[in-house]
Structures are given as C-alpha cells and as structure tokens.
A and B are shown apart, each in its own frame.
Chain A
Amino acid sequence: MNTKAFTPAETCSTTEAAPKRPVLECQNLSVFAGSKCILREISLSIAENQVFGMVGPSGAGKSTLLRAFNRLIDLQPNFRIEGTIRLNGNDIYERSVDPDQLRSRVGMLFQQPVVFPASIEDNVLFGLRHHRKLSRSEKATEVESALRSAALWDEVKERLKESALRLSVGQQQRLCLARTLAVNPEIILMDEPTSALDARSTESIEQLIVELKKQRTIVLVTHNLGQARRVTDWIACLCPSKESGSGQLLESACCDSFFESPTCRTVFRQIPDDELLPPA
C-alpha cells in the first residue's frame, strides 16, 4: 500500500525519543491563554540530529507548543506557562534568558512564507545582519552558503538583487528556510511548512529536511501523515481531550511503531487513506 519514497527511518531500538541527553525537552508543560487551557501537561524529549514530528487533529495545540519552544508565544498578551522547557538542559523561561538570543538558536519556518519586500539577498541576510556585523565578502559567502543549503542557489544565483516577491511560493518558502539557516540555529521548528505548497515544492522541502537533520535538529508539525511517515524519526501525537478541549499527549513513539499503535489509529481513522500515500 504505502511505499516510502526516501530512506526509511531506522527501526526503533529504544522506547524513548532521547534516551541520553535530549537537546530540547519539556516537562509537564501546560500553556494557558487567559483562563483557557491550550495544552495540558505535555512531556516530550527531543534528541539531537533527529526529525521529531508532531501530528494530531486541528485545535490540539501543536502550533502553540512549537511557539513555546522559541518563546514566540511571549508576543501574545495573555499566555501563561506552567512546567519547564529546557534547551540543552537550561530552562528557557528563566529570567536571565534573552528571548531574542534564544530565537537565534531555535529558528522557525512558518506555514505561509513571509518574504520581506526587498531583494533576495537582503531577505537571506535579514536575520543574520542584526546579530553580527558582516563585511561585504562575508555577506556574499553567507548568502551563497544559506541558499545552497536550501537548494535555491542555482535558481536565483543570477538574480540576487531582484525582488524576492517575484519568486514562486515554493521558492519563497525555501528562501525563508535559507534566511533561517543563515542565522545558524541548532534547532529548526517547522509549522506545517509544506501545506501551502504544491507537490513538487513539498518534495524538495522534504528532501531538505532529511538532509538538514544531519547537522541540526528539526521539530516538524504536520497534518500530512504521509509526510510524517517519510520524513520523521519520531512522532508525537497530540489530541484535544474530549472534556476540556485542551491538547494532550496521546502517544509518542518511534516512526515505524507509531503507525501500528492502536491509539493513534483510532484518532486518525477519520483521515482518508490517500493522505498516507506519497505525493504523485
């Protein structure tokens, strides 16, 4: 029925996502918006150089969880956190932590590509130039390196000074990836990065993800179970609880065993089988 297009993830040898030292973890994390509980007591461990997938129905709080990891939810006024989130063992919500510095180590790719009305070059450098001063040659090197890592270099190397708005949506998303990579984060959070893209662009982003995990850690939220199957090493399933509506962790398992798990089969039975197929 389902054929994997890429190298399958290794069969699980352990029962934990991060048996030794997790690069990112949360313990009993609850997130509140005002009085409403969005996530209830989530505990996860994410290992280094892994693609950690998060799946689940809408409203389960996956995006919120992602935004908690890079403290982007600080921007929303009534959010409150209980529990801890640790990056390399250090609590990221501690007073001494600078959220802006944190975000240069934990990057994010959004569902809709957000491209600034400037040249391609300026877009790539947009984050990096605020973090450190760059000479002209350094700028050129960084731009090329980031665009290569995002598999966009060949397509745009002749027109770096042109407006980035002229790129197709798929190219724009890769540009956003290049921009994030330029800042050189250890972890990249991706919030449904391919749901606005066509099949071809989706495929190239998926290939990039698998490539990127060799040097970084990726946390991927996706609606597409087929994508989860192809790309992730470990999957956590979040589901809104029937009584309170707040998101809870239902199952966390290594990719292969996840799809055999009866719990998640129940949750996903409404999702049609063709979502599990790789793109044509």
Chain B
Amino acid sequence: MASVGFTAFAILFLIGMVGIFLWQSLPVWQQEGWSYLTGERWFFRQLEFGILPMIYGSLAVALIALGFSVPIGVGAAIFAAEILHPRLRVPLKIAVELLAGVPSVVYGLLGILFLRDWIYSILTPFDPLSGDTLLTAGLLLGMMVLPTIMTLSDDALRGVPTGYRQAARGLGLTRAEVIFSAIFPQAWRGILAAVLLGFGRALGETIAVFLVVGRQDNVLPEHWFSLRPLIEAGQTLTSKLGGAETHIAYSDPLHWAAIVGLGLVLLAIVAGITWLAAWLMRAKEVSDAPGI
C-alpha cells in the first residue's frame, strides 16, 4: 500500500544520504585514506585535507555543552518530576518547550551580542584575541541543549511507576533516598539516552556555533590534556560546512570531496550516537512490577 511505500522511501532517504555522501567524497578517501581523519592540517589551497582539528573542535564544543547542560538539566528534571507541585508542572513544561524551540540563529545572535564580550572579559588574564572561542561556542550550545536534556530526563523519571515511590516512602525513606534508591536505578537508561541525544544535537548544531566559534582552522592541543585551545578560536565539522568553502569547493574535485567527507563523518558520528540512544530507550527490564 502507499503507506508502506512512503515509509520505505523515508528509510531509504537516510541510506541514500550516506550513499551520496560516500560517492561524492570518494576522491578524498582514495587520495588521503585514513590520514584524512588523522591529519592535522587543512589547507585547501595546497589541497591538504586533515580533519582532526575539526573533530577535536566538534567534540570539545559538544562536551563543554554537556558539562553545562547535564547537571542542570538532570537536576531540573528531578525537581520537576519528583518535587514540584503538580500545578506548576505544566507552566514549567511549557517554558522548557519554548526554550527548546528558540531558533539557533537567535541563539547565535545572543551569543554574539552578550556571550562573546562576557567571555572576552573573563579571559583577559589569558590574553585572548577575541571572544569567539571554542569555550564560547560550548557554553552557547549548552544553553541550546539544556531543554532537550531536561525534557527527556523528565520523561524518563516520570516513566517509573508511582507504586515504587509509594512503597519506598512507606518504608520510611526520605524523598532524596527514594530518588536515588528506587527511581534512579530504573530511570538511568532513559537519562543516559537523553544525554546521548543532547550530545548528538550538540555535535550537529551549525548556525550558532558558526557565529561564535571563531572559525580558525588547524587548532589542536599540544598535549593530550591541554586546555589551552578551548580559549582560542577553533573550527568544528559543522562550522566548516556552513562556511564559504562549501560554495567554492565544487571547482576542485578533491576539495569538494573533502567537504562532503566532513558531512559523511559527521553523519556517521551523530547517527551512531542517536542509534545508541534509541536502543537504550527501548531496552527494558525483564518484567516491570505488575499492575502498579
């Protein structure tokens, strides 16, 4: 029936995307092979394409975002699901959903106008060049991802049947003890999935990051654990894709392949994370307690 046809198309859409990206980026895989992924230099005029700095940039920015949004998001979700008076739950949910809907370009604008200067002033002891840094992008992303983590964690916590709360409190446990001993062990999968989805979203965000990350190529830490690059301008997979090079790259097949390759790598990473999150959300304990 037509339904199945449309469904099949939607599924093939994803596969088609991977296929097309693979096809279009073939030259760079043939030319560079693995050094495309591990190479540290991207100089398109010399046709040198190594994307490690961009992978670093994307990961750094996304992890900063999680560092900000996970504690606050999960904390707020605990508050909303377990502590808050039910009458206030709906207004809070509305507020969070609206926050989730704010377009990335508006976040970008706010980042430019407020966050950028604020970071610049904070970093003055370190002698920064500007307020556009990986840190700035990370914090901005943190605010963008916060509502996602909050809503999904809230769903995970609410998914635990109330019978457990009643039984635990009936035994004399305090509310905090109920949350940690009775609720968390059942909700942790959903919360982890929420974090993963937030991570995926942070990795895939383009516009806001583009505006405040500085768009400086070839930024990598000297040592494994050096935090220096975080306060410098950097580049992520998405900020490169959203930039001018994508428009001009088509004139050179290798350059074009390198650009599409970025898309392929990004797709692989984000799809993998999202798939993992989806898998977590559907794997359940053998039997939930009957009829609570």
Interface string of A95-108 (1 = CB under 8 A from B): 00000111110011
A102 to B177, CA, bound (A): 16
| Nearest chain A CB to B178 CB, angstrom units | 9
Please tell me the number of chain B residues within 8 Å of chain A, measured between CB atoms.
Answer: 28
| Nearest chain A CB to B171 CB, angstrom units | 3
Residues of B within 8 A of A117 (CB): 185-186, 285, 288-289
Interface centre among B87, B182, B290, by most A CB within 10 Å? B290
Residues of A within 8 A of B168 (CB): 126-127
Residues of A within 8 A of B182 (CB): 116
Would you call A113 an interface residue if the criterion is a C-beta within 8 Å of the partner chain's C-beta atoms?
yes
Whether A114 pairs with B167 at a CB distance below 8 angstroms is: yes
A60 to B135, CA, bound (A): 61
A131 to B173, CA, bound (A): 8
Whether A114 pairs with B292 at a CB distance below 8 angstroms is: yes
Interface string of B125-164 (1 = CB under 8 A from A): 0000000000000000000000000000000000000011
| Nearest chain B CB to A130 CB, angstrom units | 5
Could you say which of B164, B169, B174, B186 contacts A75, with CB atoms under 8 Å apart? B169
- Mark out the residues of chain B between 31 and 82 whose CB falls within 8 Å of any chain A CB in the assembled complex: none
Residues of B within 8 A of A169 (CB): 290
Whether B163 pairs with A108 at a CB distance below 8 angstroms is: no
Whether B286 pairs with A103 at a CB distance below 8 angstroms is: no
Whether B170 pairs with A112 at a CB distance below 8 angstroms is: no
Residues of A within 8 A of B177 (CB): 130
Whether A70 pairs with B87 at a CB distance below 8 angstroms is: no
Decide if the interface of chain A is mainly helix, strand, loop or mixed: mixed
Whether A107 pairs with B167 at a CB distance below 8 angstroms is: no
Residues of B within 8 A of A180 (CB): 170-171
- Mark out the residues of chain A between 166 and 210 whose CB falls within 8 Å of any chain B CB in the assembled complex: 169, 176, 179-180, 183, 196
Would you call B93 an interface residue if the criterion is a C-beta within 8 Å of the partner chain's C-beta atoms?
no
Would you call B282 an interface residue if the criterion is a C-beta within 8 Å of the partner chain's C-beta atoms?
no
| Nearest chain B CB to A271 CB, angstrom units | 24
Would you call A165 an interface residue if the criterion is a C-beta within 8 Å of the partner chain's C-beta atoms?
yes
Whether A110 pairs with B172 at a CB distance below 8 angstroms is: no
Would you call A262 an interface residue if the criterion is a C-beta within 8 Å of the partner chain's C-beta atoms?
no
Q: Given A72-B169, A75-B169: A130 and B181 within 8 A (CB)?
A: yes
A117 to B189, CA, bound (A): 14
| Nearest chain A CB to B278 CB, angstrom units | 22
Would you call B291 an interface residue if the criterion is a C-beta within 8 Å of the partner chain's C-beta atoms?
yes
Would you call B165 an interface residue if the criterion is a C-beta within 8 Å of the partner chain's C-beta atoms?
yes
Would you call B7 an interface residue if the criterion is a C-beta within 8 Å of the partner chain's C-beta atoms?
no
Could you say which of A77, A130, A163 contacts B85, with CB atoms under 8 Å apart? A77
Interface string of B267-292 (1 = CB under 8 A from A): 00000000000000000011111111
Whether B286 pairs with A107 at a CB distance below 8 angstroms is: no
Whether B172 pairs with A114 at a CB distance below 8 angstroms is: no
Whether B292 pairs with A112 at a CB distance below 8 angstroms is: yes
Whether A77 pairs with B86 at a CB distance below 8 angstroms is: yes
Would you call B166 an interface residue if the criterion is a C-beta within 8 Å of the partner chain's C-beta atoms?
yes
> Which residue of chain A has its CB nearest to the CB of B175?
A100
A130 to B179, CA, bound (A): 13
Would you call A228 an interface residue if the criterion is a C-beta within 8 Å of the partner chain's C-beta atoms?
no
A222 to B145, CA, bound (A): 51
> Which residue of chain A has its CB nearest to the CB of B164?
A114
A75 to B87, CA, bound (A): 14
A245 to B43, CA, bound (A): 81
| Nearest chain B CB to A57 CB, angstrom units | 22
A127 to B171, CA, bound (A): 5
A180 to B171, CA, bound (A): 7
Q: List 9 contacting pairs A-B, 8 Å CB cutoff, sorted by A.
A: A72-B166, A72-B169, A75-B165, A100-B172, A112-B291, A114-B164, A127-B172, A176-B167, A179-B171
Q: Could you list which residues of chain B lie within 8 angstroms of chain A, going by C-beta atoms? A: 85-87, 163-174, 177, 181-182, 185-186, 285-292
